[in-house]
Amino acid sequence: MSAEKILGEWKKGMYKPLYWLEGEESYFIDKVVNFAEHNILNESEAGFNLTVFYGKDADWAAVINACRRYPMFAEKQVVILKEAQQMRDIEKLEPYVENPLSSTIFVVSYKEKKIDGRTKMAKLLKEKAVLLPTKKMYENQLPEWTKDLVESKGFTITQKALRLVVDHIGNDLSRIDNEIEKISVNLGKRKNITEEDIEEYIGISKEFNVFELQSAIASRDLEKAICIIQYFGANPKAAPIQLILPSLYGFFSKVFMIHGVGTKDEKTISQATGINAYFIKDYMKAVQTYNYAGVEKILLLLHEYNLKSVGVNSVGNSDAILLKEMVVKIIA
């Protein structure tokens, strides 16, 4: 079951006795746990009927005893076990998992991994619990997810602003949510998030960022590329070379893949390469500028300068000098 479905049922007052939230993406797990802790019970009910354990310090017997208590002055009680992956003897919860109390809502947060599917515990959970498996979101899923997040808050976002957020933050969903929330609070009556808002409230320059450098290289605009690199040289924290080179490599790797697809149909290319349809035109611009051999040369240069950035065959050169040298070779 998804986090959205669990929360949707809870908002309607529909509860099951046991929820097991596991996997690599803590954003969805935290969202469900936070709702369970602060929204299922009202303030007066929570005083008697909310119990929170932390796996590292939790004793399995105490957790079971809490779950087997009956609620006081309320229909339900909530027991939350956070960081359950750190709990010793977690398998000793099996007797309760096998026969949970219907008046208890037991929510378990098991982060960073999944429980071993071969164990008796895993088989019991599959039978008795509502399971929320999570995994890190793929890069090509981020634009759609971020756009949906913005719209769920009652706002819209320009394509360039969306690209800035996704490219700069990556798949840190919690940070994306926090940054969008910060912007929305500051917009006043406006409902559309622009690249100017991203620059003002998140601190990502709308003119001098990895996306703009990528775009300049894709269109062979050497003057603009050098201008951006000079900005990076004067503002090292804006885009360190360790961020720039992998981003460029990822971009041109996909351009290389597009050449291999052998069609100009954007829908076919998106399906074949996994490139999000929102940004396919950015890649097509580079396809038109650089042929197959040209992109292969770019990838080799990126690999070479990645080595130079860590001191292989290059001593004493600043990041800006390395980037300028590389970009001149690419565009020339």
Helix, strand, coil shares of the chain as percentages rounded to 5? 60, 10, 30
Q: Report the amino acid identity of residue 286.
A: A
Q: Give the Cβ contact number of residue 211 at 10 Å.
A: 21
The domain ranges of the chain are: 3-134, 139-201, 210-331
pLDDT of residue 171: 85
Q: What is the mean pLDDT of the chain?
A: 90
Q: Where are the beta strands (DSSP E) in the chain?
A: 18-23, 50-54, 77-82, 104-111, 130-134, 156-157, 192-193
Note the pLDDT tens digit of each residue in 298-317. Answer: 999 999 999 998 888 777 78
pLDDT of residue 263: 83
Q: Where are the beta strands (DSSP E) in 99-154?
A: 104-111, 130-134
Q: Report the amino acid identity of residue 321.
A: I
Query: Hey, which residues does 19 pair with through a beta bridge?
Result: 107, 130
Select from 133, 180, 130, 129 the least CA-distant residue to 157.
Answer: 180
CATH: 2.40.30.10, 3.60.9.10, 3.40.50.300, 3.90.1150.10. Which one for 3-134? Answer: 3.40.50.300
Of the pLDDT bands very low, low, confident and very high (cuts 50, 70, 90), residue 99 is: very high
pLDDT of residue 28: 95
> How far apart are alpha carbons 97 and 29 in whole angstroms?
19
Between CA 79 and CA 63, with CA 5 as vertex, the angle to 5 degrees is 15
Of the pLDDT bands very low, low, confident and very high (cuts 50, 70, 90), residue 237 is: confident
Q: Report the amino acid identity of residue 77.
A: Q
Of the pLDDT bands very low, low, confident and very high (cuts 50, 70, 90), residue 211 is: confident
CATH topology of domain 139-201: Helicase, Ruva Protein; domain 3 (1.10.8)
Question: For 184-197, what is the mean pLDDT?
Answer: 90
* DSSP for residue 17: S
What class has domain 210-331? Answer: mainly alpha
Question: For 43-50, what is the mean pLDDT?
Answer: 91
**If you search the block for the tokens 């959205």, which residue do you land on?**
4
Cβ atoms of 24 and 132 closer than 8 Å: no
Question: For 135-140, what is the mean pLDDT?
Answer: 85
> How far apart are alpha carbons 320 and 304 in whole angstroms?
15
Question: For 73-77, what is the mean pLDDT?
Answer: 92
Q: Which burial class, exposed, middle or buried, applies to 277 when counting CB atoms under 10 A from its CB (0-12, 13-18, 19+)?
A: middle
Of the pLDDT bands very low, low, confident and very high (cuts 50, 70, 90), residue 105 is: very high
Whether this prediction's pTM lies above 0.95 is answered by no
Q: Residue 132: helix, strand or coil by DSSP? A: strand
Of the pLDDT bands very low, low, confident and very high (cuts 50, 70, 90), residue 265 is: confident
Between CA 190 and CA 195, with CA 191 as vertex, the angle to 5 degrees is 90
Look at residue 77 and tell me whether its pLDDT is greater than 80: yes
Look at residue 208 and tell me whether its pLDDT is greater than 90: no
Q: Which burial class, exposed, middle or buried, applies to 114 when counting CB atoms under 10 A from its CB (0-12, 13-18, 19+)?
A: middle
Select from 238, 230, 22 the least CA-distant residue to 114.
Answer: 22
Of the pLDDT bands very low, low, confident and very high (cuts 50, 70, 90), residue 200 is: confident
